[in-house]
Structure 1
Amino acid sequence: MNIDYIEDFIKVAETKSINNASKLLHISPPALSMRIKQIENYFDCDLFYRTSRGIFLTKNGDIVLDELIEISQTLKKLKLKTNTVNTSKIRMGMLPSFSLYRIKDTKDKLVHANVDVKIENNTQVLLNHLYNGDIDIITGDISSSNSTKLFYETLYREEYMIVFQKNNNLIFNSNVYIEDLLNYKIFLLSPPCDTLAFIKSNFSNMKLNIECKENLESIFASVKTGQGITIIPKSLATRVESMDLVSKKLSDYYREVGLISYNRKTIDRVLNILPESFIV
């Protein structure tokens, strides 16, 4: 059995869906189904059963899942041990907002400390790189993961900003609450997207009118022509200042951006590199 299929099996078991797991793993549903079938062939038994509500583990599947989780963690720890020495390179994944606005004056220090930076557009993609062992540590939205196998260190809290035209009635609100947005079309990036995940997690019971687009430029263009509004992290709000748009804080909500890693010592090494002003 291909050891890469271990994470595939775990992800399908977690999501209870081939389609949802395939999106997180960035492979097609047919390819993922074939991998699951190969795992079942290896153990010579059915590990999942399918219903209209999703795909679920059999009794044998539960046994295999427990063991594969242990094997996965053992492999990751082994890989970390073989790569981690005092002079080893730290492979660090970052969000664009963090890399552009938080470390622009710290790049030389990172290079000197042997930190190799990888930029991705959202936390979920970074987490997948971390799960697969492609990187050692990430900076991202801490609420995107609840794994007890990982270590977390909050660096700062970041507000969410509502972006709209100058002639929008929201400009007269001293405070903007999520309920004030019910009558607006809200443009967000297509999944995986941190802001979209935040909205689904906190406001799934509200009938928000959400339309997804592929890039921020398209979103800002739609907002500028009065087609709707958008919600973005504050670190990206500087991009709207030159576009004749207005941004206001979304009241009562913020996200925590921090370091996430399987290794506490890696977090400590990065904390020693970053300026103290980064930390809450």
Structure 2
Amino acid sequence: MKIIQLEYFIAVVDHNSFTKAADFLHISQPSLTATIKKMEERLGYDLFYRTTKQIQITEKGIQFYHYAINLVHTYSQTMEKMHDLNLSSTPKIKIAILESTSQWMSQVLSRHSKTHHNQRYMIAERHDMNQVVEDLLNFNYHFAISNEEIKHELISSIPLYRESYVLLTPKDTFNNKQSISIENLPLIVPNKGSQVRKHLEDYCTRIGIHPNIIVESDRFETALNYVHRGMGYAVLPRVYYQSYNARDLDAYEIRPKMSRHLYINYLMKRQYASNVQTLIDECLNYWDIS
């Protein structure tokens, strides 16, 4: 069975109509109908119930649909990777990072690119630890930066640096204070599910306070927009304070101290090309990790 046949079948299901699917695929309806019929004959069961007015997918058709979706998706990913290989003798280095690490990672990549001409990079933000582990195990990324240690027998998780969290506020909000408690303050924090939010909740539980959360946001950049608007104060990693979006804001140490470790993670069984290994070494050297 060919991929194009699966794509035809998926189109019929998605549009719930042979006519609309044929229009979408830019083929004739008789040709599409004949293709689906041949698929059913080869499979040995019906994919659709057909009446003069409508079609309905069968139970086996539903199961087949899920398999077809996965197969087409895998095929598309494979073709994309093969296309990457065709474009260059040095395929893209794929890296999963955190939003807060983009500042220093850009410096590392800039340095790396000067000695590895024509090297291309693909950077994606990943905050779900389970997804990061799965991506590394499936070879989707060469390495990943995380704010939690990955404890997996096939993954090497090396600490890069420790950083404190800070409270970002409009200028001169708390005058000359060096540190401040976040208790009762209006806070702008990441959405539930993020590691930073988990760190904040664990911290508040540990010191016995209940955070006064005013705004929840997916991205640090968005959180800072609300700080600039005077809606509250953002609890963010100190390294992110170096970013362009944190200009014109003050950073106060949180009392008692709240901090985290950052890790670089890669698959131990994977054979890395020299350009990838050099980039990993650049990350370690940036933080003086021998």
- Compute the TM-score of the two structures, normalised by the length of structure 1: 0.55
1:153 corresponds in structure 2 to 158
Following superposition of structure 1 onto structure 2, how do residues 1-280 of structure 1 map, counting pairs within 5 Å?
Answer: 91-104=94-107, 105-108=110-113, 111=116, 116-122=121-127, 124=129, 125-143=131-149, 145-169=150-174, 171-176=175-180, 180-204=181-205, 205-210=208-213, 211-238=215-242, 239-242=244-247, 244-251=248-255, 252-263=257-268, 270-274=279-283, 276-280=285-289
Contact 1:160 1:254 in 2 (8 A): yes
Gaps of 5+ in 1: 1-37, 39-86
The one-letter code matched in structure 1 to 2:229 is T
Tell me the CA shift for residue 241 of structure 1: 4.6
Counterpart AA for 1:95: L
Q: Distance in 2 between matches of 1:106 and 1:91?
A: 17
How far, CA to CA, are the matches of 1:122 and 1:255 in structure 2? 14
User: Counterpart of 1:187 in structure 2: which amino acid?
Assistant: I
Identity %: 15
**What TM-score does the superposition give when structure 2 sets the normalisation length?**
0.53
CA-CA distance at 1:256 after TM superposition: 1.7
Task: Give 2:25's aligned residue.
Answer: none
Distance 1:203-1:113 versus aligned 2 partners, 3 A rule = farther
Deviations, residues 175-233 of structure 1 (Å, cap 9, x unaligned): 23xxx111112111224423112113333353112231243344223222332111111
Deviations 1:232-263 (CA, angstroms, capped at 9, x unpaired)? 11222133553x32112335332222211231
Q: 1:235 to 1:121 in 2, by over 3 A?
A: farther
**Greater Rg, structure 1 or structure 2?**
2
Shift of the 98–219 alpha-carbon distance from structure 1 to 2, 3 Å rule, reads: closer
3-state SS of the aligned residue for 1:227? coil
Structure 1 match to 2:72: none
User: C-alpha displacement at 1:107, in angstroms?
Assistant: 4.1
Q: Distance in 2 between matches of 1:241 and 1:90?
A: 29
Match of 1:77 in 2: none
One-letter identity of the residue aligned with 2:157 = Y
Change over 3 Å in CA distance of 1:148–1:106 after alignment to 2? same
Separation of aligned partners in 1, 2:259 and 2:154: 25
CA RMSD of aligned residues (A): 3.4
| Offset of residue 119 of structure 1 | 1.9
Contact conserved, 2:96 with 2:126, CA < 8 A, in 1?
Answer: no
1:65-104 Cα offsets, whole Å, 9 max, x none, are xxxxxxxxxxxxxxxxxxxxxx887533222433432342
